Structure 1
């Protein structure tokens, strides 16, 4: 029954988004530009465009990328990535597989291109969703078009996430330099632990969704989070503790703790911000890689905080231990 429900939800979302969003957009894009270059054989393009927001944040997009790549690799189909804002090639380069495609090679003629979606519904009780996503992707890939454009945050590739990610990507020289700088400052790879706090708009930093605490309740809530950090430090007093968060208010507060390490920079959510500078977006990529080199990564949770996948996939990238800790 759960598998049937997943099929219905994913296909219903695809039907709605194709007819209400993607096909009208493609009609406009196709009329305003020249035809995309013709490739030899079919190509699958993982699409992340500003006008389509259902791919989620950075880690959601990464899991979609690795999942589609996994199936294309299995089938021997050409796989490419078109990732707008931030422009992915500014931060990550092709590593063992050349996924780059020039904008001029993207076709928006729906007689030649099939745009489609595969959504994840974050229902941990539905153990069939991942397999359903894979089956639907296989069905899409059989369609007789020159290009299949897949918009997704699917998670069927999680079983090989780190391997797939590292086949696809290596940091640019600029990003690698920043990552090495911060890892070295904490004693080197696997010499520090990390804690991640995903508040969204709880502390009033920006508009994103979810609850916003009244101002007179924020200090008490922040102190509860600080208590969790202090407890973690007492358990491993010999190690520096990297703290990452989407709240600059919280980061400014905990940066004064002598054993806490905070990576400086402005915080934005890539799924909601399309006009930030390269330097601003860079922080998300630096956080991701520096987390991956920790010995352990702890996602701190309660009923108010968002259950983010950022910490989990950062840990999966380079084999860090991953745990979730509920605040009391």
Structure 2
């Protein structure tokens, strides 16, 4: 009972915060077609790039299943269309175009909610327009008849329907030599002492050195003299690897969209997008994880976008 009360109060608090943001947008008009608007407007944290993409693709799939119009309101912490433009779907909507009918529209907050069935949730609310905050891939729930490979193909197809690279992002990718390379990805969060995240654990220096050496030896064995790039959230590890091997790295500092220093520099966000689509362009992706490291899905979804072989390796 206490858990249910706590969940109810949390949802009321989320709704209150949302109303405070969009109170001035009240309108009694309604859309011509029922509509889902997935929002990234700074009201709530969502996680990193891939978390946001998961939420977008999932609710695009929901909109398709229900024959709803679909829009993406994404202007925090940057304007999405600077890097990703509408492809086959006209999803763009300006913040000033947002209209909220207090009786016929619904607020939906399912950030980090793995248990919901989004189609059933939308059907139950029976509104004209849904303002959605989400960061989960609900593919297994939406398409229970599909296997893992089919789900990946479905996700790739829907992502491609939504997005094409902006001229800015495409040019930056073209400027990097990406001919026939393999990609290595690691995710440390805070344990290397150079990255603030939801975790705060920092390994002792001796343990950091041991972990870096173990990863280096594994990467050398997997690389087999192929051209390779390292992608990581730890600049300490990137510098260690490039100093002790001929493995390459993309210039720039690793960056997390929901970081806790409120860094709004656009180059940091561009670096995240470049890393993602560089991994997608690789000939093979290896995600390396030791016990103390974080189990990221960043490179797995990049591999899905690029239709690239992906291997998860536990050390």
TM class by shorter chain equals: 0.7 to 0.9
| Aligned residue in 2 for 1:138 | 120
Sort the Cα spacing of 1:17 and 1:180 in 2 relative to 1 into closer, same or farther, 3 A: farther
Whole-Å Cα distance in 2 between the matches of residues 13 and 317 of structure 1? Answer: 38
1:45-56 paired onto structure 2 within 5 Å: 45-53=37-45, 55-56=46-47
Counterpart secondary structure, 1:271: coil
> Would you say the 8 A contact 1:37–1:105 is kept in 2?
no
| Aligned residue in 1 for 2:11 | 18
RMSD (Å) for aligned C-alpha atoms:
2.4
Q: CA deviation at 1:18?
A: 2.4
| Aligned residue in 2 for 1:5 | none
Superimposed CA distance per residue, residues 241-280 of structure 1 (whole angstroms, 9 cap, x where no aligned partner):
1110001111122223553120111211112254321111
**Structure 2: gaps (5+ residues):** 141-150
Sort the Cα spacing of 1:228 and 1:37 in 2 relative to 1 into closer, same or farther, 3 A: farther
> Would you say the 8 A contact 1:13–1:117 is kept in 2?
no
> Would you say the 8 A contact 1:18–1:116 is kept in 2?
no
Counterpart secondary structure, 2:108: strand
| Aligned residue in 2 for 1:240 | 227
1:88-237 paired onto structure 2 within 5 Å: 88-108=80-100, 110-120=102-112, 133=116, 135-141=117-123, 143-157=125-139, 159=151, 160-182=154-176, 185-187=177-179, 191-210=180-199, 211-233=201-223, 236-237=224-225
Q: CA deviation at 1:221?
A: 2.0
Which contiguous aligned blocks of 4+ residues in structure 1 show a shift greater than 6 angstroms? 11-14
Deviates most, 37-46 or 79-88: 37-46
Whole-Å Cα distance in 1 between the matches of residues 125 and 6 of structure 2? Answer: 18
> Would you say the 8 A contact 1:42–1:147 is kept in 2?
yes
Q: How many residues align?
A: 298
TM-score for the superposition, normalised by structure 1: 0.83
| Aligned residue in 1 for 2:143 | none
> Would you say the 8 A contact 1:63–1:161 is kept in 2?
no
Q: Among residues 253, 268, 272, which one is paired with 1:284 in the alignment?
A: 272
Sort the Cα spacing of 1:294 and 1:216 in 2 relative to 1 into closer, same or farther, 3 A: same
TM-score for the superposition, normalised by structure 2: 0.86
| Aligned residue in 1 for 2:60 | 69
Sort the Cα spacing of 1:208 and 1:102 in 2 relative to 1 into closer, same or farther, 3 A: same
**Structure 1: gaps (5+ residues):** 1-8, 122-128
